[in-house]
Structure 1
C-alpha cells in the first residue's frame, strides 16, 4: 500500500488493520549497538493503549510488544526492527449492520473510491489503531534522541472549548485527559462524559514542546523541519490543522511584534516556534495541532448506502468520545521520528559528531 512509509534515513512502515490479526511497524535506519529494552517501548505503548479511563474507548488491547528482528542480546543490530502488536479484543461482527453504509466523518467513502474495496471492520487500515505501530517506532526514536539531550512533551491544551489556563508539566500524566492544567482537566473530563452520555463527541487542541534540538537541523527548501513535522502530524487521521510558534495569530501581528529579535545572549522571543527558514534555531520548538471530534457517535446521522440510497446510521461500539488523551503519545512519537530522521540527514551531510550520537 503506497503511503504506508515515512522518513528517509530513519524510515518506518506500518502495517495491519483495526480488527485484523495484528498491527505493527518495520523500522529501518536504527543505529547499531543501541541498548533497547522492550520495557522502554512498552511504557510508551501503555500510554496509547485503549481502556485507560472513562474518557477512552473500553476496548481492551494490551499492545504487548514483540520484536521479531533487529535486536540481539538487548542491542540493536542495525538491521530492520520488526515490531508486531497482536490484536486481542477484535469484534468485527459489530460492524456487520453498517457494512454497506458510509459512516459520516470516516474514510469509508474515499477508501472505496480509491481501491474499489474496503475493510469495513472498524475502519480497517484507516483506523486510529494504525497509530500503535507509530508509537512503537517513536519509542525507538526517543531512545536515540536521549543521547542528544532532546526531550519531547505533548499535552492537551484545550478540549470542547475548555482551555488550560496554567502550565504544569508534572500534572500531564496525572489526569485522564493529559492536560497541563489540573483544574481545567476536571472540567474537560466532565464535558467528555456529558457528551458521551448523549452519544456525541468533541475535539480539542494538543500542544507539543521540543527542547534540546541544536541549531541547524532541517533540509530546505522542500524538506524543512517544520514542513516534515507538519506532514507527520497531518498524517495522523484525527489531526486537521497545525501551527508553529505564534501560529495563526501572526496574521494579526506587526513585523516589529512578530520578529524574534536577538542580542548577545540569544533570541528575545520565540514567535517562530524554534524554526526559521525550515531550520532549527536552538530555541524550544513549539507547535499545536487541531484534533477533530471522534467521528463514531451513536446519535442518528444521515448517510447513503453503497447504492446511493438515503439511510440513517447510528455508530454503536467502543469508541473514544474524545481523541486528545490518546493522541498525545502519537504526536510525541511522530515528532521523535522526524527529528531522528533529520539528525541522521545532517550527519550524513557533513557533521560526524552527530553520527556518534545517532
Structure 2
C-alpha cells in the first residue's frame, strides 16, 4: 500500500505487521563510509522494545536487529540499508473473539473502509509495532547527526494528568516513565498502575529538544522544517497534536510578547521553538506532542460489528497502559530522520548552513 515511505534524500520505507513474521525498514540515501553495526541500532531498539517495566505491555520481544544489506566490513556502502526484526511473541489467537468487531479508538473500521480487508491481529500495520522499523532507521539518522554535532532528546513531560515540575536530562532513562522529573515520575507510575488495574489507560505529552542545528535548515514553502517535523510526528498513530515553542499559548500573547527579539549576541527568547519561516534559527528546536490514551482497554465499551450490528466489546491482550515511555525513542527517531534528510537536501544544493 502507498503511504509507507517517508523522506526525500534520506528515505525510509517500513514493512511488516504486529503478529506477522517480522517488521523492518529499508533506508535509502545513507552515504557510504558511515561506521555502522547491529549493536549501534540495538541500543535504540532496546529503548523501544516491549516488556521493559510495569507500565508497559508484557509482550516479550527481543527486537534483535538483523542487517540484511547496505553494510560491508562495518561500513555503509551507499546502497539501500535493509533491517529486519523477527517477531517472537505473537499471539494472534488472542484476537479471535473480536475478529468481526471494531475496537473503539483503533483503525479497524477505517482500514476496512479503505482497503476492504483488514488484519484483525493487533491492528496489523496500524499497530504500534510498526514503529520498530522507524526506530532502527532513526538510529542510523542519529549517527549521521552526531557527525554534525546534533543531538535529539525527548522525554515524558506530562502523563496521567501529572506534570513534571523540573527538568533533569540525567534521570530520563532512569525511571520507567522516561520523565524529566523523578518526583513526578513516581506519581505517574502510581497513577498508571492504578488505572491499569481497572482496565483503563492514560495519555500524556512528550517534549523533544534538538540541539546543535545551525541556522538555515528547512525547505520553504511546503517542506518547512517545522512542517516536516509535524508530518513525521503526526504520522505516529498515538499522536493527536503538536506545538512548537510557546505553541498554543501564543493565542493569548501579544506580538510584543511572542516575537523573539534579537541583540548583537543573538535571540533573546525562543517562542518560535527554533524555527522561523520554516527555517532553523540556530536555537534549540523545541516541540511537544499530545499522546492519546492506549485504545486497547478491558473496560467494556459499545461498538458494532462488520455487519453494522451493535455489540459490546472488551479488548483482551497485552497492551501498554500508557504509551508515553515507549513512544519517546520513536519521536526521537522521527525527528532525527527529518533532520538527516534536511541536512542532505541543504548540502545537495551546495550551500553550507550558517553557524
Pick the TM interval, shorter chain: over 0.9
Partner of 2:300: 300
**CA displacement at 1:352 relative to structure 2:** 6.1
Deviations 1:311-343 (CA, angstroms, capped at 9, x unpaired): 000001100000000000000000000000000
Partner of 1:151: 151
Partner of 2:324: 324
How far apart, in 2, do the equivalents of 1:26 and 1:131 lie? 13
Partner of 1:187: 187
Moved over 4 A (4+): none
How far apart, in 1, do the equivalents of 2:99 and 2:353 lie? 55
Secondary structure of 2:192's match? Answer: helix
How far apart, in 2, do the equivalents of 1:22 and 1:317 lie? 19
Partner of 1:63: 63
> Residues 1-358 of structure 1: matches in 2 within 5 Å?
1-351=1-351
How far apart, in 2, do the equivalents of 1:97 and 1:161 lie? 33
Shifted more, 34-43 versus 129-138: the winner is 34-43
How far apart, in 1, do the equivalents of 2:333 and 2:182 lie? 24
Q: Is the 8 A contact 2:152 2:332 kept in 1?
A: yes
Deviations 1:110-146 (CA, angstroms, capped at 9, x unpaired): 0000000000000001000000000000000000000
**CA displacement at 1:353 relative to structure 2:** 8.3
Q: Is the 8 A contact 2:179 2:185 kept in 1?
A: yes
How far apart, in 2, do the equivalents of 1:307 and 1:114 lie? 16
Secondary structure of 1:328's match? Answer: helix
Deviations 1:237-296 (CA, angstroms, capped at 9, x unpaired): 000000000000000000000000000100000000000000000000000000000000
How far apart, in 2, do the equivalents of 1:315 and 1:248 lie? 34
Which TM-score applies when normalising by structure 1? 0.98
How far apart, in 2, do the equivalents of 1:4 and 1:293 lie? 24
How far apart, in 2, do the equivalents of 1:233 and 1:14 lie? 15
Secondary structure of 2:84's match? Answer: strand
Query: Please, what is the CA RMSD of the aligned residues?
Result: 0.9
Q: Is the 8 A contact 2:153 2:208 kept in 1?
A: yes
For these two proteins, the number of residue pairs brought into alignment is 354
**CA displacement at 1:349 relative to structure 2:** 1.1
Unaligned runs of 5+ in 1: none
Q: Is the 8 A contact 2:214 2:353 kept in 1?
A: no
Secondary structure of 2:138's match? Answer: helix
Unaligned runs of 5+ in 2: none
**CA displacement at 1:167 relative to structure 2:** 0.3
How far apart, in 2, do the equivalents of 1:307 and 1:336 lie? 43
Secondary structure of 1:82's match? Answer: strand
Deviations 1:28-84 (CA, angstroms, capped at 9, x unpaired): 000100001211110000000000000000000000000000000000000000000
How far apart, in 2, do the equivalents of 1:278 and 1:352 lie? 17
Q: Is the 8 A contact 2:216 2:353 kept in 1?
A: no
Q: Is the 8 A contact 2:215 2:353 kept in 1?
A: no
How far apart, in 2, do the equivalents of 1:80 and 1:44 lie? 20
Secondary structure of 1:145's match? Answer: helix
**CA displacement at 1:351 relative to structure 2:** 2.2
**CA displacement at 1:160 relative to structure 2:** 1.2
Secondary structure of 1:176's match? Answer: coil
Deviations 1:156-195 (CA, angstroms, capped at 9, x unpaired): 0000110000000000000000000000000000000000
Which TM-score applies when normalising by structure 2? 0.99
How far apart, in 1, do the equivalents of 2:353 and 2:254 lie? 40
